[in-house]
């Protein structure tokens, strides 16, 4: 979440930094945990 708040990096780039195989895999995992996609979370915070 810190990278989503503190940077303007695209979600796909953040996913790669965190070791996810793809942006979509990261988005799915994030949504399962937080109840919304990373993009929506970033927009709300």
Contact at 8 Å (CB) between 38 and 11?
A: yes
Question: Could you give the CA distance from residue 22 to residue 6 in angstroms, rounded to a whole number?
Answer: 21
Domain ranges in the chain?
Answer: 2-44
pLDDT of residue 16: 97
Q: Please state the CATH superfamily assignment of the domain spanning residues 2-44 in this structure.
A: Homeodomain-like (1.10.10.60)
| pLDDT, tens digit (0-9, with 9 covering 90-100), for 1-45 | 899 999 999 999 999 999 999 999 999 999 999 999 999 999 999
Question: Could you give the CA distance from residue 13 to residue 19 in angstroms, rounded to a whole number?
Answer: 10
How far is CA 14 from each of CA 19, 24, 25, rounded to the nearest angstrom?
9, 11, 12
Question: Which residue is associated with the tokens 């708040």?
Answer: 5
pLDDT of residue 13: 96
Model confidence, pTM: 0.85
Please give the structure tokens belonging to residue 25: 């895999």
| pLDDT, tens digit (0-9, with 9 covering 90-100), for 3-14 | 999 999 999 999
pLDDT of residue 27: 96
């Amino acid at each position: 979440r810190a990278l989503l708040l503190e940077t303007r990096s695209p979600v796909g780039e953040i996913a790669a930094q965190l070791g996810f195989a793809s942006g979509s895999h990261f988005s799915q995992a994030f949504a399962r945990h937080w109840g919304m996609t990373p993009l929506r979370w970033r927009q709300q915070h």
